[in-house]
Amino acid sequence: MIPALVFVASTGAALAQDVTAGERLFRTCSPCHSVGEGATNKLGPALNGLDGRKAGTVEGYDYSDALKSSGITWNEASFKEYVQNPTAKVPGTKMIAGGPRNDKDIADLWAYLKQFGPDGKVK
């Protein structure tokens, strides 16, 4: 008897991330945010070095007291929760427009953003 192989598809949190799709999604964020070499603060802060950074700490950006005192350290989970509904996650934040709402788009956007180090270079 030949043993059977079973493959199970999962729809859980481990979604494949697509950096190229995330870059396309970031275009909707770019009126307010920038990322990469030469990124500057706009209506929102530059997003270089986002992964592992404490919220409210980009030099030269005037954050709301709510975000500065939120205690958030950015990672995939905190980014997902915040970007889906910023004012629900941090009442009093300046960011009133959320980003993508579905898990796949958020994962792709995170994959794009987390590749940039604090200097704006791709890691």
Q: How far is 48 from 36, CA to CA, in rounded Å?
A: 6
Find residue 117's DSSP bridge partners.
none
**Which tens digits make up the pLDDT trace of 45-92?**
999 999 999 999 999 999 999 999 999 999 999 999 999 999 999 999
All structural domains of the chain, each given as residue ranges with its CATH number in brackets, are: 19-114 (1.10.760.10)
Sort 79 into a burial class: Cβ within 10 Å, 0-12 / 13-18 / 19+. Answer: buried
| Mean pLDDT calculated for residue range 9-13 | 39
Model pTM?
A: 0.85
Q: What percent of the chain has pLDDT over 70?
A: 88
Instruction: Check whether 12 has a pLDDT greater than 60.
Output: no
